[in-house]
Amino acid sequence: MIKAVFPGSFDPPTLGHLDIIERASGLFDELVVLVAANGAKAGLFSPEERVGLLRDILGARPKVSVRSCDTLVADFARDEGCAVLVRGVRNPSDYSYEYELSLLYRHLNSALEFILIPADPRYLALSSTAIKELASYGADVSALVHPLVETALKRKLRPASRSH
């Protein structure tokens, strides 16, 4: 049995994330979607809210679970018996960053394999940061996120007032 982990901040989860989850879940016996702490990013949603959104969106899928951690992902993977770490890449810049990160993960957990899944072309320009920015101005993000995320964004954000 091969267990994989797909870590991210998922703040908020996008259709790009959901596409990677769907594709990765078909490759492994078990996939843990991991809401991981990222001290470099200020979160709009709390980790508990992100876990709740992902669980509500993904429903009861037998091969997929959603968890959170505030430890190193490499340590989480080792402690939970995950043999593979999955990451999505949208562009050469993502690839370069993820490649360097894979070397660091390999140093921290030599048993952990690193799999990069290229983004679906529909989601190449999609990022959680862009979603938050658009939503903060009241833009329609319905084609970029699940309806539950769209509703949560509307509750969290008020359109920024614009000066002319």
Can 154 be counted among the known catalytic residues? no
Provide mean pLDDT across the span 80-94: 95
Can 17 be counted among the known catalytic residues? yes
> Regarding beta strands 84-89 and 113-118, do their DSSP bridges make them parallel or antiparallel, or are they unpaired?
parallel
pLDDT digits 0-9 by tens, 4-34: 999 999 999 999 999 999 999 999 999 999 9
Catalytic residue among 9, 128, 132, 146: 128
**Domains of the chain, start order:** 3-121 (3.40.50.620)
| Residues 119/20, Cβ–Cβ less than 8 Å | yes
Catalytic residue among 55, 67, 78, 90: 90
Q: Whole-angstrom Cα distance, residue 132 to residue 127?
A: 9
Give the full edge-to-edge strand order of the sheet including 84-89. 64-69, 30-36, 3-8, 84-89, 113-118
Q: What is the model's pLDDT at position 164?
A: 44
pLDDT digits 0-9 by tens, 41-73: 678 999 999 999 999 999 989 899 999 999 999
Question: Residue 32's beta-bridge partner residues?
Answer: 5, 65
Can 107 be counted among the known catalytic residues? no
Q: What is the model's pLDDT at position 157?
A: 86
pLDDT at 158 over 80: no
**Count of C-beta atoms within a 10 Å radius of residue 14:** 22
Q: What is the model's pLDDT at position 111?
A: 93
Can 46 be counted among the known catalytic residues? no
Q: Whole-angstrom Cα distance, residue 108 to residue 121?
A: 32
User: b/e for 79-109, b at 16 or more Cβ within 10 A?
Assistant: eeebbbbbbbbbeeebeeebeeebeebeeeb
pLDDT digits 0-9 by tens, 105-146: 999 999 999 999 999 999 988 999 999 999 989 899 999 999
